Structure 1
Amino acid sequence: MTASNRQKRLNSIKISKADTHQNLIKPTWPFQEEEGHARLTFYSKGGDTDMPYSKFVLIPLFIAAQATIMMVIEPTLGFVSWISFQAWAMYFLAGCSPKMGLKTFLGYLGGAAASIGIMQGASIFGAMGLANGTNLYLAVFIVVVLVISAEYVQWFDFVPSWFVGAGVFFGLMNLDIFTEGASIWAMYGQSTVKLMWSCMIGLAFGAVTVAFRTWYEAQVNTETADKQPPAVPAE
């Protein structure tokens, strides 16, 4: 690359200090689009519209009410609240859209399958004579290659949800929630059902949060715009 081309390249990626500062102070929730990544900006302090805390406080109150409701209904609906809270957050991280929520759900399911693959693979390799953890390491290596390759599989390409789902599945397998004498496959089945049901609850709560906040902040934004003085026509 010549010096001239290098300078043109540098100029093309320069960002002004003002733009950088504005982006740093603007609170955003991630919004992932089909092509590239964008940001879905909510209107709060430092954003496109300064929302006074007297209006903003309704948002944390609403989310706090959701969290309380989740805890109250947990025993009745039979899900695991800490898993649902994680899935709730994953809905935001995935992009705050139903499509990405579905991808998150499928990723959790894939994570459960990956965990089962690791445990079964370690057992098989152990029976083949691999010991001292080598059986587990080999199983992890093979399964992770397959998991990352899911980026090329439509609807299963949100790989972070695979990792979260797998981690939660391993956690469930270490809890004393199984019937006495249950086979390993029965334990896999119980953990998968518990994981996916809890994930579904969390994603539903996330969708409600986004729907409410989007609607409410649009109302505040409209109200603020209506109160702005009319523009003075240029002479």
Structure 2
Amino acid sequence: MKKSQYLIFAVFVGLQSFLLQLADQLIGTHFVAGGHSGFVFIAFQAWALYFLLGSEVKGAVKGFCGYVLGILFAAIMIGLAYVLPDAGIWTVPVVALIVVPVMMYFEFAPWFISNVAVFFVGAGAFFGINSYVEGIRMWQAAGIVLVYCVLGLLSGWMSIVFRKWLEKRLSVKKIMEVHQIHEQIGNVN
């Protein structure tokens, strides 16, 4: 694809970003009471992960499952921090020392739950919402993360589908132009 033709794809991705931002402003405020600065950052993370996981539906499944497990491990860490005796500044680091090695062994799990890096992204989004949205419940935070994860994975999928369609259309157009040139040359002889 030429640089001039790439503009079509770039504008399409820009339009997707516009729609994600708009959707966040329309639906994001309805998830929890009170104001928030938006949750669209999670969709952009998942969008990028779609590409990093191979730009295929199989990667989207792995991404979604990774977010689910990341949320689960984050919830376990929060729960353990409450159950373990208060060790002050050492409580959360000790919890991480207990839970993260277990997470790491998922590298040997079946394909759809074996990308530990995605666990960290999902857990990070979950921790972020739990930490910065006052009064939120864990199930609400989990729901928000998963809704925006799906929006991001769908955005990644749509980007790839559109790009493949555009590249195919442009290559067919190029073939037709070459064919027309050959016909014109044939008519001259």
> How high is the TM-score relative to the length of structure 1?
0.67
Query: Identity rate of aligned residues, in percent?
Result: 27
Q: Does 1:161 align with 2:118?
A: yes
1:77/1:63 CA distance change after superposition, 3 Å: same
Map 1:198-209; keep pairs closer than 5 Å.
198-209=148-159
Note the residue ranges of structure 1 that are not aligned, 5 or more in a row.
1-50, 180-186, 231-235
Task: Tell me how far 1:225 sits from its aligned partner.
Answer: 4.1
Q: Deviations over 1:25-75 (max 9, x none)?
A: xxxxxxxxxxxxxxxxxxxxxxxxxx3222111010000011111111223
Q: Does 1:94 align with 2:94?
A: no
Q: Identify the residue that residue 16 of structure 1 maps to in structure 2.
A: none
Q: Identify the residue that residue 161 of structure 2 maps to in structure 1.
A: 211
Which of the pair is proportionally richer in helix? 2
CA contact (8 A) 1:117 1:139 kept: no
Q: Identify the residue that residue 92 of structure 2 maps to in structure 1.
A: 136
Q: Which one has more relative contact order, counting CA pairs under 8 Å at least 6 apart?
A: 2
Task: Tell me how far 1:163 sits from its aligned partner.
Answer: 0.7
Separation of aligned partners in 2, 1:156 and 1:120? 22
Amino acid at match of 2:62: K
Q: Identify the residue that residue 131 of structure 2 maps to in structure 1.
A: 174
| Greater C-alpha radius of gyration | 1
Task: Tell me how far 1:227 sits from its aligned partner.
Answer: 4.1
1:74/1:90 CA distance change after superposition, 3 Å: same
CA contact (8 A) 1:112 1:165 kept: yes
Which of the pair is proportionally richer in strand? 1
SS in 2 for 1:170: helix
Map 1:19-38; keep pairs closer than 5 Å.
none
Note the residue ranges of structure 2 that are not aligned, 5 or more in a row.
32-38, 183-189
Q: Identify the residue that residue 120 of structure 1 maps to in structure 2.
A: 79
Q: Identify the residue that residue 24 of structure 2 maps to in structure 1.
A: 74
Amino acid at match of 2:70: G
Q: Does 1:149 align with 2:105?
A: yes
Number of residue pairs aligned between Structure 1 and Structure 2 = 170
